[in-house]
Amino acid sequence: MARHITVVGAGVVGLACAWDIARRGAAVRVVEAGRVGAGSSGGTVGALAPHAPENWNPKKQVQLDALVAAEGWWAGVRAAGGVDPGYGRTGRVQPLADDAQVAAARMRVEAAARNWPRPFGMAVTDDPGALPCPSPTGLYLHDSLTARIAPRAACAALAAAVRAAGGTVDEGAGPQSPDMLDGTVIWATGAPGLADLSRDLGRAAGNGVKGQSALLGFAAPGAAQVFAGGLHIVPHGDGTVAIGSTSERDFADGGATDAQLDALVARAREICPALADAPVIDAWAGVRPRAQSRAPLMGGWPGRRGHFVANGGFKIGFGMAPAMAAIMADLVLSGEDRIPDGFRLA
């Protein structure tokens, strides 16, 4: 059984893996080229939203299990390290634009009743929620499973928990290469890691997709988040509301915000008039790791004995991190392979 583990990358997936390993009593070291949460995990949105409950598949089941367990999991992180990750299961509201959306929503309610455990579910109601947004039909789809997390606070909380459990988190370590690292290594290096993996395998393992998001100064800490027109509007517990995000396949500078973010904020103000005068207090841009399959990518790195990959979280990294961490800890500590087929690095 591997007892000394190195995790490369201090984003949410790498830190979650390190936390699960450390709390099982193994020695773990996280090596980060920059700072904790410096990559795609340093954004602002933090929507822990479930996949649609119809057309059920193993990927959706893994995410569901992670979301159901998230409240207790993040509470454990907070208790261990003393840092609040900003978790809250506040639910989600989706305005329904027309009769077709209402019909689809009613089918989704039935699918959630089949596939989600109690007490979680969906309902079509005329309640706009605590952050009202107009609905052309006067109806909304509510779900009670969706939660929020504060991405930067969550990464800081995980780093604190790892350190409290006896692990180390080394920031500013610079880029790592395989010959620099001994023993068992988990590579959780986001979009650059997918590029490295693609070069090593001689085939595309995935790519980076740019996202932009913003924080508005508006206090609605207990309100459900809103999802409309592909846009997430997420009230956080610190008096902010997150808006995001764009999804850009072609870009020149992955770390720069531009007019696309301005358009995103304008749409959010239109969707939720209460945000009309809320100031933009932070803007973010980053490149998220999207595997070819759009599912997380896990398993042994081909040709690198003792090296493993945990990557490809894309838009669901924070929601999937607890499940990915448990799967990777089982794999590297005891050799138990529970990787779902759709997530497997073939």
Residue 333: CATH number of its domain = 3.50.50.60
Band (pLDDT 50/70/90 cuts) for residue 345 is: confident
Q: What angle do CA 15, 332, 81 make, to 5 degrees?
A: 30
Average pLDDT of the residues in 100-127: 97
pLDDT for position 316: 92
Q: What is the DSSP code (8-state) at residue 344? A: B
Q: How far apart are CA 279 and CA 277, in angstroms?
A: 6
The token pair at 80 is 């261990």
Domain count, the chain: 1
What is residue 2's predicted lDDT score, i.e. its pLDDT?
Answer: 56
Q: What is the mean pLDDT of residues 14-41?
A: 96
The two tokens of residue 185 are 């290594």
Given a cut of 60, whether residue 1 has pLDDT beyond it is no
Are 31 and 172 within 8 A, CB to CB? no
- Please answer whether residues 316 and 32 qualify as being in contact, where contact means their C-beta atoms are separated by less than 8 angstroms: no
SS (H, E, C) 240-297: EEEEECCCECCCCCCCCCCHHHHHHHHHHHHHCHHHCCCCEEEEEEEEEEEECCCCCE
Give CA–CA dist 45/53, Å, rounded. Answer: 22
Q: What is the pLDDT of residues 173-211, one digit of tens each?
A: 888 888 889 899 999 999 999 999 999 999 999 999 999
Chain segment 309-332, per-residue pLDDT in tens: 999 999 999 999 999 999 999 999
- The Cα 44–Cα 300 span in angstroms is 31
Whether 217 contacts 279, CB under 8 Å: yes
**CA dist 235 to 56, 180, 222, 261, Å?**
29, 42, 8, 18
Q: What is the largest CA-CA distance in the chain?
A: 60
Mean per-residue pLDDT, 110-126: 97
**Single pTM value for the model:** 0.96
* Pick from 58, 10, 17, 64: nearest CA to 330: 17
Which of the two residues, 305 and 175, has the higher pLDDT score?
305
Query: What's the CA gap between 119 and 143, in Å, rounded?
Result: 11
Determine the Cα angle at 322 with ends 49 and 108, to 5°: 25
- What range does the domain containing 225 cover? 4-343
What's the rounded Cα separation, in Å, for the pair 344 and 346? 6
CA 215 to chain centre: 17
| Strand locations in the chain (E) | 4-8, 27-31, 47-48, 92-95, 122-125, 140-143, 147-148, 168-170, 184-187, 206-217, 225-228, 231-235, 240-244, 280-291, 297-300, 307-311
- pLDDT computed for residue 177 by the predictor: 87
